Amino acid sequence: FLQNFVVKRVQWLDGVIGKWSADHADPLGDYMDVFESDWYYDTITRATALGLLHGKGAGIFDPSGITTRAQTAQVIYNIAAPGSIAYSDVFPDGLFRPDRGVSREDMITLLYRYAGSPKTSGRKLAEFRDNASISDYARQAMEWAVENGLILGYAEDGTIRPQSTTTRAEFATIAARFYEKTTA
């Protein structure tokens, strides 16, 4: 196991170091995998400064890694002011699956419900080619997220990708936007 870990870690480091060049900016603080030239640099900076989410340790943020359901719950807890929510075991059957990746629509639905399920116009989702793939339970939440600029979709193909797993960079972006809109 240890040998496999070391081999994979060295391969990853070789890949990261191989991408460095003179025009590649210094990494963000303690994160050796977040650079000023990355599209998510500003939002990871804000999300980290706000204490919403953090790296994975050893100088790694892992921006392209998946966001888990547990990480999503932790960020909502961080937004709600730690200590202000009492713990209750609402998943006694184990269906929370904390280590499972969270889809974009599930993550948005959690934020939407935390925000009190505000009303929406119901007109923005038509802008996205794949809006029919949004689950019924998440439709209002996704509409709300688009109307409030939490998610913008993917300009390269006009999609919103509701079923896709949320990356850590995407989640940092959405979390920072959500925090700034709801606490301002």
Rg (Cα) of the chain, in Å, rounded? 18
Measured distance CA(87)–CA(110) in Å, rounded: 17
Q: What pLDDT, in 10s, does the model give residues 25-70? A: 445 566 888 888 899 999 998 998 888 888 888 788 999 999 998 8
Tell which wins on pLDDT, 53 or 9. 53
- The mean per-residue pLDDT over the stretch 60-82 comes to 88
The pLDDT tens digits for 10-25 are 787 777 666 655 444 4
123-139 per-position pLDDT tens digit: 889 899 999 999 999 99
- For the chain, what is the total number of helices (H) and then of strands (E)? 6, 0
Share of the chain above pLDDT 70, in %: 84
Mean pLDDT for the stretch of residues 98-116: 93
Residue 160's region, left for phi above 0, alpha for psi from -120 to 50, else beta, is: alpha
User: CB under 8 Å to 182, separation ≥6 — which residues?
Assistant: 79, 115
pLDDT of residue 84: 60
State the average pLDDT over residues 93-100. 77
